[in-house]
């Protein structure tokens, strides 16, 4: 029997989870925008807009301490951070573009060396996804293989219903467990129809064709045309659900301090700058090229996935109007021209 | 910030019919000066993929001049592209720039700081009835409701000192000076309240550096906050480093900031950075009677010394 | 119960047992791990690198400059050019540093058995080859002729000077040392000229020979054509890429050249591999 949850019970679920001691993270008003932040009560939840920053920070915070150190009477000791103290978390109200991203990032954080800061949070977090009924002119999830109804990455998935409430599906055991623990909050789904879902006004792009073009066009006038205007900030990377580059820095003194891991961006000139002053990506065009290559080629080469979920945040908030959809749409067209129809990856 | 403050008045349309003439004039002039070799590139605006959006464009071919536009979405201060921070864009030759009245201040400031020479640039001035503020819907026309805050107090709708001024100003409705009111509110606070206000604002900073990267005056080859020998500003997005960064930036811009408010516009975390710059401008006026203006001035008060300078801050 | 793995960013603690000023701004450390188990179990291969911390300043990436055949300690060598290296330089014998590693791939030394070796190094890039040189010298009978061409801007800029002397005196090593024109003092007994030129003069035979090249990008750029001229195939030339790194673990995203993560897939590459990469390093 399929299930549904009323708006009121959804908020009650948050209250209940908070009372049980779980960390509940969801979109919450922060000035003129919303952010995925810890909720203290059900009424904190604001679901009518896409949060300004993505949900990746539930797993990969803006800044986190990875160890601390102290020197006493000449002797230095290092204190590990106990990731076992990561609380059980429910991430609620993640849009398909946000819910899908952490699963994509599992690959980089777990190949060979395992980044337990990320992975432990992944293990301890249940994601409640939410279908989208609204898309704006920057949304392009359908262009990169997702959709407003995509459940990828969600443990429990909510679809808004006509007349209020949400249809609930549990694509994973984690989601089933969450429902099973709070049976009183879920009702049997009646005949209520789902609200019409959003339809981003974009073409579905052939990601393999885009990758094939990138394979052969490290050098292309395209990079110089697009990125001349790039201002070299990190707004795109920091709002992105899939960008995961970081820096590590010590703060404090040799006598007492912490080592911290924090977001970094390939758009910054100093990102790749050598101590000698030599910089392999010495101009902005090369940095922007790396951004596109990493998302649509390198990550695919390494992990077989695309590092973009089409959330559109980088488009909405680029200070100089760079539009990643327009870029990959152009590449898609060039790819089609180069290869003719029907050829993608070999 | 815009959306709440602007609810003060009912939203009425702003007449932007002159923008079509402006666009036409930009295209004609850009094509002419590129074709006759007056300039090697024109920095202007072109339409974005999404209806109602624009982006900076660097045009070198007269045939592409037809793509230049002017609209209420032309909010960027293009002076950024004439600084050495963008030296991979503007390599050599004479550059033309499309400038609104407010953008002229940044050009004047950069001339005063010997970053650009007047004779080396060609200024296509444009009359401007205003541009859109953050949060405005792309497809909607310009109204008193979605107008950028800086435009509400604009005194330079028709640029002066340009090589050409495109368009004729329409008459505009009365506008509430939203930012001035916000400034007054902050000024009325106790220092502790003001500290709390800024602490809260800066706590959201993620150090994406968009504020620095779009600022025409942040052209330092190496920013103080990127230096690490010694490290002046902690680089992680935490309260101490965030506060230090924004104070350092405000101090470095005092008496230089041209008030374009680009830093505030681009901040993805909606930190009202222009209030901070405006506060510094206010201090500069009170302490030194100095205002960054439309005429190039050789040295601001913080880079020159006078016997009678106010020294009351030395305690 | 929490069953998570270990914190991959945790360094081992090591004590500076000895230090030596190689030049006016380049210093080398001999480090001994403080934990007995680590001291006994820490193994690495020539060419691997580590993240060294000066606590309070951060981490910096250098190769392990000692040979894996020498047990009980590791060595590193760094120039003071930034916050971390300045802080490392301010430390004294007996002080503690952090060491994470070993990371990255290594020189396939077993594949070099029975072959002649030509080492070509410039300036501070001797350490990544020094580990291989000592590794091979400690297994001397497994290799044919060993030639080392090492140069720096001036006499003062040569590192491991005492070892150059030792290699010079050995009959089973052919050391060709050089300084750039103008860098030679009155008592200089080596060559004068840029490394690629001196290499061409020395003209080591390419047959059954492996070339290992480390140096600043400009030296490598001019050395590769010389090796080609001498008859070396790209597969027989090894080098290391020294990109900026932070994590060393294939996560932080800054060391990539195209889809190659230098920290994981490198830092050791053949000239053939390097030529196949996007030229962005």
Are A143 and A233 in a shared domain? no
Between helices B239-253 and B273-288, what is the axis angle to 10°? 40
Neighbours of chain C (3+ CB pairs under 8 A): A, B
- To test the contact with chain C by mutation, choose from B225, B228, B234, B235 the residue with the greatest count of C C-beta atoms within 10 A, namely B228
Using the 3D structure, point to which of A156, A188, A220 is the last residue of a domain.
Answer: A188
Confidence of residue B92 (pLDDT cuts 50, 70, 90): low
pLDDT tens, B219-243? 998 898 888 888 889 999 999 999 9
pLDDT tens, B30-69? 999 999 999 999 999 999 999 999 999 999 999 999 999 9
- Give Rg (Cα) of chain B: 20
Average pLDDT of the segment spanning C206-216: 96
Give the pLDDT of residue A342.
46
> 């091979």: which residue's tokens?
C136
A31/B1 Cβ within 8 A: yes
A159: three-class secondary structure by DSSP: strand
B199 to chain A, any CB pair closer than 8 A? The answer is: no
> 């109804």: which residue's tokens?
A149
Instruction: Tell whether the model's pLDDT for residue B87 goes beyond 90.
Output: no
- Residue in chain B closest to C85 (alpha carbons) equals B229
A62/B206 Cβ within 8 A: yes
B212/A263 Cβ within 8 A: no
Which residues of chain A does B88 touch, with a Cβ-Cβ cutoff of 8 Å?
228, 283-285
Which residues of chain C does A265 touch, with a Cβ-Cβ cutoff of 8 Å?
none
Half-sphere exposure of C220 (CA within 13 A, CB side): 19
B229/C82 Cβ within 8 A: yes
- Residue in chain A closest to B89 (alpha carbons) equals A228
Backbone angles phi and psi of A89, in degrees to 5: -130, 145
Determine the Cα angle at C45 with ends C39 and C49, to 5°. 85
Confidence of residue A44 (pLDDT cuts 50, 70, 90): very high
Which residues of chain C does B230 touch, with a Cβ-Cβ cutoff of 8 Å?
83
DSSP C51: E
A321/B53 Cβ within 8 A: yes
Cβ atoms of residues C56 and A254 within 8 Å = yes
A275/C244 Cβ within 8 A: yes
C281 to chain A, closest Cα gap in Å: 4
A278/C56 Cβ within 8 A: no
B278 to chain C, closest Cα gap in Å: 35
Cβ atoms of residues A200 and A279 within 8 Å = no
Which distant-in-sequence residues (6+ apart) come within 8 Å of A151 by Cβ?
A96, A99, A129, A157, A169, A171
Confidence of residue A344 (pLDDT cuts 50, 70, 90): very low
Cβ atoms of residues B264 and B274 within 8 Å = yes
- Residue in chain C closest to B228 (alpha carbons) equals C83
Residue A202 lies in a domain: no
Cβ atoms of residues C161 and C86 within 8 Å = no
B222 to chain C, any CB pair closer than 8 A? The answer is: no
Please state the ipTM of this predicted complex. 0.93
- To test the contact with chain A by mutation, choose from C2, C8, C52, C55 the residue with the greatest count of A C-beta atoms within 10 A, namely C55
Strands A75-80, A23-30: pairing kind: unpaired
Q: Out of 1.10.3720.10, 2.10.10.90, 2.40.30.10, 3.40.50.2300, which CATH number does the structure's domain C12-103 have?
A: 2.40.30.10
Residue A246 lies in a domain: yes
Neighbours of chain A (3+ CB pairs under 8 A): B, C
Average pLDDT of the segment spanning C87-93: 96
Give the pLDDT of residue C4.
65
B231 to chain C, closest Cα gap in Å: 8
B267: three-class secondary structure by DSSP: coil
Residues 50-109 of C with CB under 8 A from A: 53-60, 79, 81-82, 85, 87, 94-96, 98
Q: How many CB atoms lie within 10 A of CB B278?
A: 22
Q: How many CB atoms lie within 10 A of CB C161?
A: 14
Mean pLDDT (chain B) is 90
B71: three-class secondary structure by DSSP: coil
Are A220 and A110 in a shared domain? no
pLDDT tens, A174-194? 999 999 999 999 999 888 899
A294/C4 Cβ within 8 A: no
Domain, as residue range, for A297: 207-339
Neighbours of chain B (3+ CB pairs under 8 A): A, C
Backbone angles phi and psi of B228, in degrees to 5: -130, 10
- Residue in chain C closest to A84 (alpha carbons) equals C2
Residues 230-259 of C with CB under 8 A from A: 242-244, 246-247, 249-259
Which residues of chain A does B214 touch, with a Cβ-Cβ cutoff of 8 Å?
231, 233, 319-320
C29: three-class secondary structure by DSSP: strand
Q: What percentage of residues in chain A have a pLDDT greater than 90?
A: 89
Average pLDDT of the segment spanning B18-22: 94
Residue A201 lies in a domain: no
C168: three-class secondary structure by DSSP: helix
- Cα separation, C117 vs C128, in Å, equals 15
Between helices C195-202 and C217-229, what is the axis angle to 10°? 20
B80/A32 Cβ within 8 A: no
B89 to chain A, closest Cα gap in Å: 6
Instruction: Tell whether the model's pLDDT for residue A341 goes beyond 80.
Output: no
Residue A346 lies in a domain: no
- Cα separation, C260 vs C250, in Å, equals 10
Say which of B85, B138, B208 has its CB closest to residue A238: B208
Which distant-in-sequence residues (6+ apart) come within 8 Å of B257 by Cβ?
B217, B277, B280, B281, B292
Identify whether A108 is preceded by a cis peptide bond (ω within 30 of 0): no
Average pLDDT of the segment spanning A169-177: 96
Which residues of chain C does B229 touch, with a Cβ-Cβ cutoff of 8 Å?
82-83, 86
Average pLDDT of the segment spanning C185-210: 95
Paired residues of A33 in beta bridges:
A30
Give buried/exposed letters for A150-178 (b at 16+ CB in 10 A, else e): bbbbbbbbbbbbeeebbbbbbebebbeeb
Number of domains observed in the structure of chain A: 2
Instruction: Tell whether the model's pLDDT for residue B8 goes beyond 60.
Output: no
B303 to chain A, any CB pair closer than 8 A? The answer is: no
Cβ atoms of residues C172 and C143 within 8 Å = no
Using the 3D structure, point to which of A188, A222, A242 is the last residue of a domain.
Answer: A188
Which residues of chain C does B231 touch, with a Cβ-Cβ cutoff of 8 Å?
83
A28 to chain B, any CB pair closer than 8 A? The answer is: no
Tokens of A220: 């292309």
Cβ atoms of residues A158 and A90 within 8 Å = no
Backbone angles phi and psi of B95, in degrees to 5: -115, 140
pLDDT tens, C240-250? 998 999 999 99
pLDDT tens, A115-167? 999 999 999 999 999 999 999 999 999 999 999 999 999 999 999 999 999 99
Say which of A33, A233, A322 has its CB closest to residue B210: A233
Average pLDDT of the segment spanning B175-202: 95
- Cα separation, B246 vs B280, in Å, equals 12
Say which of A77, A113, A247 has its CB closest to residue C250: A113
Which residues of chain C does A114 touch, with a Cβ-Cβ cutoff of 8 Å?
5, 8
Which residues of chain C does A123 touch, with a Cβ-Cβ cutoff of 8 Å?
4
A30/B213 Cβ within 8 A: no
In Å, how far are A212, A316, A332, C17, C235 from A296, measured between CA atoms? 10, 20, 11, 48, 30
Give the pLDDT of residue B305.
79
A158: three-class secondary structure by DSSP: strand
Confidence of residue C91 (pLDDT cuts 50, 70, 90): very high
Higher-confidence residue of B310 and C58: namely: C58
Residues 6-45 of C with CB under 8 A from A: 6-11, 13
Label residue C186 exposed, middle or buried (CB < 10 Å: 0-12, 13-18, 19+): exposed
B50/A137 Cβ within 8 A: yes
Handedness of CA A12, A14, A17, A21 (dihedral sign): negative
Annotated domain spans of chain B: 2-166, 178-303
Tokens of B261: 């408010």
B198: three-class secondary structure by DSSP: helix
Cβ atoms of residues C123 and C116 within 8 Å = no
pLDDT tens, A231-267? 999 999 999 999 999 999 999 999 999 999 999 999 9
> 């924004």: which residue's tokens?
B246
Q: How many CB atoms lie within 10 A of CB C152?
A: 23
A115/C81 Cβ within 8 A: no
A239 to chain B, any CB pair closer than 8 A? The answer is: yes
Q: What percentage of residues in chain C have a pLDDT greater than 70?
A: 99
Annotated domain spans of chain C: 12-103, 109-240
Q: Can you state the percent helix, strand and coil of chain B, rounding each to 5?
A: 40, 10, 50
Tokens of B223: 């920013």
Tokens of B278: 């405006």
- Residue in chain B closest to C82 (alpha carbons) equals B229
Measuring CA to CA, which residue among A104, A102, A107, A108 is closest to residue A122?
Answer: A102
- To test the contact with chain C by mutation, choose from A59, A80, A121, A248 the residue with the greatest count of C C-beta atoms within 10 A, namely A248
Identify whether C267 is preceded by a cis peptide bond (ω within 30 of 0): yes
Are A181 and A225 in a shared domain? no
Average pLDDT of the segment spanning C146-152: 97
pLDDT tens, B201-210? 999 999 999 9
B229/C86 Cβ within 8 A: yes
A31/B270 Cβ within 8 A: yes
- Cα separation, C242 vs B38, in Å, equals 45
Please tell me the class of the C109-240 domain.
Answer: alpha beta
Q: How many CB atoms lie within 10 A of CB B236?
A: 22
């Amino acid at each position: 029997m399929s299930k549904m949850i009323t708006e009121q019970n959804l908020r009650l679920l948050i209250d209940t989870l908070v009372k049980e001691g779980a960390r509940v993270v969801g979109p919450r008003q922060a000035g003129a925008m919303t952010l995925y932040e810890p909720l203290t009560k059900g009424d904190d939840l604001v679901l009518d807009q896409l949060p300004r920053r993505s949900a990746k920070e539930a797993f990969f915070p803006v800044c986190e301490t990875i160890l601390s150190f102290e020197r006493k009477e000449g002797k230095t000791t290092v204190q590990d951070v106990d990731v076992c103290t990561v609380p059980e978390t429910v991430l609620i109200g993640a849009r398909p573009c946000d819910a899908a991203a952490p699963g994509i990032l599992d690959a980089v954080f777990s190949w060979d060396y395992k980044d337990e800061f990320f992975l432990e949070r992944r293990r301890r977090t249940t994601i409640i996804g939410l279908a989208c009924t609204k898309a704006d002119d920057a949304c392009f999830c359908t262009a990169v293989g997702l959709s407003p109804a995509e459940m990828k990455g969600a443990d429990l998935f909510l679809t808004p219903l006509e007349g209020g409430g949400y249809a609930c599906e549990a694509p994973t055991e984690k989601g089933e467990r969450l429902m099973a623990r709070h049976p009183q909050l879920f009702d049997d789904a009646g005949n209520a129809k789902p609200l019409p879902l959003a339809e981003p006004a974009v073409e579905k792009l052939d990601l393999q064709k885009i990758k094939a073009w990138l394979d052969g066009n490290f050098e292309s006038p395209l990079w110089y045309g697009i990125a001349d205007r790039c201002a070299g900030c990190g707004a795109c990377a920091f709002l992105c659900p899939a960008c995961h580059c970081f820096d590590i820095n010590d703060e404090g003194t040799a006598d007492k301090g912490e080592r911290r891991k924090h977001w970094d961006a390939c758009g910054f000139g100093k990102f790749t700058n050598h101590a000698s002053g030599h910089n392999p990506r010495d101009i902005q065009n090369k940095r922007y090229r790396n951004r596109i290559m990493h998302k649509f080629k390198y990550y695919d080469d390494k992990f077989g996935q695309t590092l973009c979920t089409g959330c559109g945040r980088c488009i909405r908030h680029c200070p100089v109007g760079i539009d990643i959809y327009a870029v990959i749409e152009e590449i898609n067209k060039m790819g089609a021209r180069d290869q003719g129809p029907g050829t993608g990856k070999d | 910030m815009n959306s709440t403050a602007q609810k003060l008045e009912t939203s009425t349309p702003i007449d932007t019919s002159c923008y079509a003439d402006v666009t036409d004039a930009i295209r004609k002039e850009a094509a002419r000066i590129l074709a006759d070799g007056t300039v090697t590139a024109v920095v202007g605006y072109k339409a974005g993929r999404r209806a109602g959006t624009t982006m900076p464009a660097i045009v070198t071919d007269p045939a592409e001049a037809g793509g230049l536009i002017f609209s209420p979405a032309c909010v960027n201060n293009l002076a950024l592209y004439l600084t050495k921070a963008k030296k991979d864009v503007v390599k050599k030759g004479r550059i033309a720039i499309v400038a609104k009245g407010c953008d002229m201040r940044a050009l004047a400031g950069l001339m005063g700081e010997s970053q650009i020479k007047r004779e080396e640039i060609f200024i296509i001035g444009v009359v401007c009835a205003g541009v859109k503020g953050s949060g405005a819907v792309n497809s909607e026309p310009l109204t008193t409701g979605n107008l950028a805050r800086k435009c509400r107090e604009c005194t330079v709708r028709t640029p002066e000192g340009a090589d050409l001024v495109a368009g004729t100003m329409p008459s505009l409705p009365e506008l509430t000076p939203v930012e001035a009111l916000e400034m007054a509110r902050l000024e009325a606070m106790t220092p502790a309240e003001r500290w709390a206000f800024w602490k809260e604002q800066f706590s959201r900073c993620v150090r994406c550096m968009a504020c620095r990267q779009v600022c025409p005056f942040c052209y330092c080859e190496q920013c103080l906050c990127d230096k690490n020998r010694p490290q002046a500003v902690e680089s992680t997005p935490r309260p101490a480093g965030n506060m230090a960064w924004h104070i350092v930036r405000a101090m470095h811009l005092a008496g230089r900031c041209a008030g374009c408010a680009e830093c505030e516009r681009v901040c993805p975390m909606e930190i009202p950075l222009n209030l901070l710059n405006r506060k510094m401008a206010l201090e500069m006026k009170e302490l030194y009677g100095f205002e960054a203006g439309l005429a190039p001035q050789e040295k601001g008060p913080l880079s020159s010394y006078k016997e009678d300078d106010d020294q009351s801050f030395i305690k | 119960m929490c069953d998570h793995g270990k914190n991959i960013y945790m360094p081992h603690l090591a004590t500076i047992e000895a230090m030596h000023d190689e030049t006016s701004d380049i210093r080398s450390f001999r480090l001994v791990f403080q934990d007995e188990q680590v001291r006994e179990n820490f193994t690495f291969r020539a060419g691997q690198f580590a993240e060294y911390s000066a606590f309070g300043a951060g981490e910096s990436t250098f190769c392990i400059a000692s040979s894996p055949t020498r047990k009980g300690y590791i060595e590193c060598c760094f120039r003071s050019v930034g916050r971390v290296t300045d802080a490392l330089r301010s430390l004294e014998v007996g002080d503690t540093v952090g060491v994470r590693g070993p990371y990255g791939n290594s020189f396939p030394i077993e594949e070099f058995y029975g072959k002649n070796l030509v080492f070509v190094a410039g300036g501070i890039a001797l350490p990544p080859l020094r580990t291989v040189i000592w590794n091979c010298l400690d297994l001397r009978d497994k290799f044919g002729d060993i030639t080392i061409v090492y140069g720096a801007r001036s006499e003062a800029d040569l590192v491991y000077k005492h070892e150059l002397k030792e290699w010079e005196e050995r009959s089973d090593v052919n050391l060709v040392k050089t300084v750039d024109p103008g860098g030679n003092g009155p008592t200089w007994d080596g060559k004068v000229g840029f490394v690629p030129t001196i290499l061409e003069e020395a003209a080591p035979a390419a047959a059954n020979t492996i070339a290992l090249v480390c140096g600043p990008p400009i030296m490598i750029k001019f050395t590769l054509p010389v090796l080609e001229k001498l008859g070396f195939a790209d597969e027989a030339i090894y080098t290391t890429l020294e990109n900026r790194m932070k994590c060393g673990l294939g996560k932080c995203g800054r060391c990539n050249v195209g889809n190659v993560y230098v920290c994981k897939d490198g830092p050791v590459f053949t000239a053939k591999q390097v030529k196949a990469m996007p030229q962005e390093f």
